[in-house]
Structure 1
């Protein structure tokens, strides 16, 4: 902790948004460097300069905090472009997604989070609310935008397309446990778009 941080924290109550941002940053650092087991309220409170009481007030479990921290960390890397060229935009977004999954510091915690969510209902709810549903909705909205502009068949089932495209990545990561390096993203997108015609 820097002297500036110590001085600032000594001047009274910080705005809740600032505290929350620092807690999420601390949780993200712990998650990405040490894994799920490091994300405890005690460790995060210490690293983030907040009280454990505050963490208990905002998150029902350390797993729920880890899920939100992961989303906050990956949000910018997974922004969805809309250049008007659906094929290119899907390739760009999926390439960024695969790069994220292929980074051991990020892909391993993602696998841990998804695995832990199978037995931790609070983590599962937080994961769905803060990561998987928002990410899915961004993809669905880009596909709907293409439908409105005529770049994608109006009858195309956007949910099936999302399952095909991102499901292929998750399948390799979580089920087959193989490298995503040999996934031909351009071909994956081409096949999905061809099937939607």
Structure 2
């Protein structure tokens, strides 16, 4: 009999950080390919070569795991540049978001996660902590930088600007269920900035 050349991935053989990364990768793959229902501790543990005990130790529920996996998967596509050109940076970031949830295939997962967060307490707690609030703070940080550079009024309400931009996208995606197209982004940014832009003296 020929021994398998595939290395066994037993417990204790990999650093915890490596195991966590592989679990999040497996959960993200399942979430995007098959939907939230596929993200169970049993299925993810099998795909990642980890134990269910480990998953239960790190996440209170499969929903909380799915939320962190979505954040890990989406983070590289949603970086927020600061080039000094606020409009260009907002258009670039919002376009990346729209592309992620349309061409990137993450839209269905996003809809399922937001919907499930309304009835799953663990997912409901994890979603803002692991995804929406961190993403919101990235936008606020970019807008604060623009304020310091005199590109936005000092009294501009940055939370309202964030709500106008990303809220419009979520409204179309989750409530209206109408196509979310990249062509919307420049118009959305221009409309939001008109109310916050500095006016010549």
**Structure-2-length-normalised TM-score:** 0.92
Provide the C-alpha distance between the structure 2 equivalents of 1:76 and 1:143, rounded to a whole number of angstroms.
20
The answer for unaligned runs of 5 or more in structure 1 is: none
Match of residue 153 from structure 1: 153
Alpha-carbon distance in structure 2 between the residues aligned to 1:165 and 1:10: 46
Q: Give aligned pairs, total.
A: 194
The C-alpha deviation readout for 1:85-124, integer Å capped at 9, x for no partner, is 0000000000001111213721000000000000011001
1:185 CA displacement: 1.2
For 1:51 and 1:41, the matched residues in 2 are separated by: 9
Asked if 1:23 corresponds to 2:23, the answer is yes
Going from structure 1 to structure 2, the CA distance change for 1:8 and 1:152 (only over 3 Å counts) comes to farther
Is residue 138 of structure 1 aligned with residue 151 of structure 2? no
Q: Which moved more, 1:101-110 or 1:159-168?
A: 101-110
1:8 Cα deviation after fit: 6.0
Which of the two has greater helix per residue?
1
| Aligned equivalents of 2:64, 2:190: Cα separation in 1 | 36
> Structure 1 10/48 Cα, relative in aligned 2: closer, same or farther at 3 Å?
closer
Secondary structure at 1:75's aligned position in 2?
helix
**C-alpha contact (below 8 Å) 2:11/2:50 kept by paired residues:** no
Equivalent in the alignment of 1:95: 95
Q: Pick closer, same or farther for the CA change 1:145–1:10 going to 2, 3 Å.
A: same
Q: Could you list the per-position Cα deviations for residues 2-54 of structure 1 after superposition, in whole angstroms to 9, with x for gaps in the alignment?
A: x77x4262595210000000000000000000000000000000001110000
- Partner SS state of residue 119, structure 2: coil
> CA separation of 1:127/1:162 partners in 2, compared to 1, >3 Å: closer, same or farther?
same
Tell me how large the CA RMSD over aligned residues is: 1.6
Kept after mapping to 1: 8 A contact 2:98/2:182: no
1:163 aligns with 2:163: yes
Distance 1:93 1:104, change over 3 A: closer
Tell which structure's C-alpha radius of gyration is larger.
Answer: 2
Q: Which residue of 2 aligns with 1:86?
A: 86
Which residue pairs with 1:62 in the alignment?
Answer: 62
Please list every run of 5 or more consecutive structure 2 residues that lacks an aligned counterpart in the other structure.
Answer: none
The residue that corresponds to 2:39 in the other structure is: 39
